[in-house]
Chains A and B, each alone.
Chain A
């Protein structure tokens, strides 16, 4: 369990004070994956490094496993850190040790016997799928395998808390998915609290239970992941969600997209469905109620937890005032509709 209370962190430079973290309050429960998303420079790294005091906060409480870390002596802090696992963007494995010996590292720190170590390491090799790689050196492994070793190493001392500092940012999408799947498995099997930071919405979508948005050192929004995607409260949240849902326009369409309309063009509308509207027959409403003709160019509907949401690009043919009425109707029922350009009718056919 992780509980941050009134956490502040300032960096003092000769001519100014920079606020890196501003009154952060956060609670991560056992068996929960909490994701913090933010742009670079938002303070994500500082925040996660404060949780095991790699970074000393200016003020506030950091309660991990029921202990306020800020009040501990150096020796007590070291003991507390042994119950906090951490993985990093660049893995940070010892290149001079094999996979097995890397996982043994945290156990050596608390001077376990060779047999005791083996009893702990073998199940971890099994869990992370590294059994056949146990005598390899990190240089012989792929990025995904290295992160698996790092995860096994972080779990060796049986922590109740796991911190993930951009753990998938150096990995390709497929490997990222397998690492996120592994984190979920670990959460389910070991019931530990996982705090991860990322700049990728896909990571939040794929693996988190709850999410917080960090902006300029402030936690500006916090919610359960499904609710967060369904009902974003802040502009930043909306931008993050939008960028994660939007697909890039097909190149052929992009080429023919004009900024201004003329008598030979049709408007291209981007419809952003939030959960309440994603299951309504919007297209048929536009056709039947407003007499518009619709040509679907691109579409994408996703399910996040129990919520459906998506983005659709359509070209529209119809009377100008009917079109405006249609757009107004969409906005009324909560569909975010925006004209993003125009295409000429030799590209798009309505016949």
Chain B
């Protein structure tokens, strides 16, 4: 294997890790509060607001219906506004974050739905404010499930990042397509796939570790 190929692999791995990591962080930063908002405004929950819930829910469903490759092209003007350019790894982070946000919101919502309603009732009976209920009951009790959901999202992002080549984002997926698929280079194809497997396995391992670490008190 030539020096150039090694360099390409190294660079692509770095790009993938950067895109996935940055997009995960940004998406969580916005998706988590969004998921909490979805949960608390759900009918019969403690900040019930059917209008807000239905609107949010519809927006999320619409965003999740758009194929990622189309979303990525569609948001180019927005991407240019945020990072100043519409091509490159940084530019790919914007559509990746946008795609993961609604997914995380749903994942967080369903994780919180697993929290025993009786606990929220008990907290309300003790005079907890909505904010205290979120911070002291919902998040700690839903934590393992939230981590599970975030792991799922990050793994999905690894898959999405393969399409980042369309906007010149680079990464392992792009390498596999351009060198492995279009140039029939079986060796590169296999190496990139193995690298992606290792990446996904590591993400799952880290996720599982945290879930286990914070579930030791459960029966």
Contacts and interface: CB of A to CB of B under 8 A. Distances in A.
B127 interface: yes
Nearest to A163: B125
A96 B140 contact: yes
A109 B116 CA distance: 20
Interface in B70-127: 116, 118-119, 121-127
B126 A106 contact: yes
Contacts of A92: 116, 118-119, 121-122
A169 B214 CA distance: 31
> How many A residues touch the partner, as a band?
20 to 34
Interface in A88-130: 88, 90, 92-97, 105-106, 108-110
B129 interface: yes
Interface residues of B, number: 23
Nearest to B142: A96
Interface stretch (A76-84, A171-179, A247-255, A263-271): A76-84
Contact of B119 (A78, A86, A94, A157): A94
Nearest to A74: B129
Contact of A137 (B127, B128, B217): B217
Interface in B188-219: 214, 216-219
Contacts of B118: 88, 90, 92
Contacts of B136: 94, 105, 108-109
Contact of A94 (B121, B124, B129, B141): B141
Interface of B: 116, 118-119, 121-129, 132, 136-137, 140-141, 143, 214, 216-219
A275 interface: no
Nearest to A159: B126
B215 to A, nearest CB: 9
B141 A109 contact: no
B207 to A, nearest CB: 18
B217 A96 contact: yes
B218 to A, nearest CB: 6
Given A96-B143, A108-B136, A84 B219 contact: no
Contacts of B126: 81-82, 86, 105-106, 109, 153, 157
Nearest to A78: B127
A109 B128 contact: yes
Given A106-B126, A109-B129, 13 more contacts: A54-B121, A81-B125, A86-B122, A92-B122, A96-B141, A96-B143, A96-B217, A106-B127, A109-B132, A109-B136, A110-B127, A139-B217, A139-B219
B33 to A, nearest CB: 20
Interface of B is mostly: helix
Contacts of A38: none
A81 B106 CA distance: 33
A52 interface: yes
Contact of B140 (A88, A97, A106, A153): A97
Contacts of B127: 77-82, 106, 109-110
A138 interface: yes
27 contacts: A54-B125, A77-B127, A78-B128, A81-B125, A81-B126, A81-B127, A86-B125, A88-B122, A92-B116, A94-B140, A94-B141, A95-B217, A95-B218, A96-B141, A96-B214, A96-B217, A105-B123, A106-B127, A109-B129, A137-B216, A137-B217, A139-B217, A139-B218, A139-B219, A140-B217, A153-B126, A157-B126
Contacts of A95: 141, 217-218
Contacts of B128: 78, 109
A91 B218 CA distance: 15
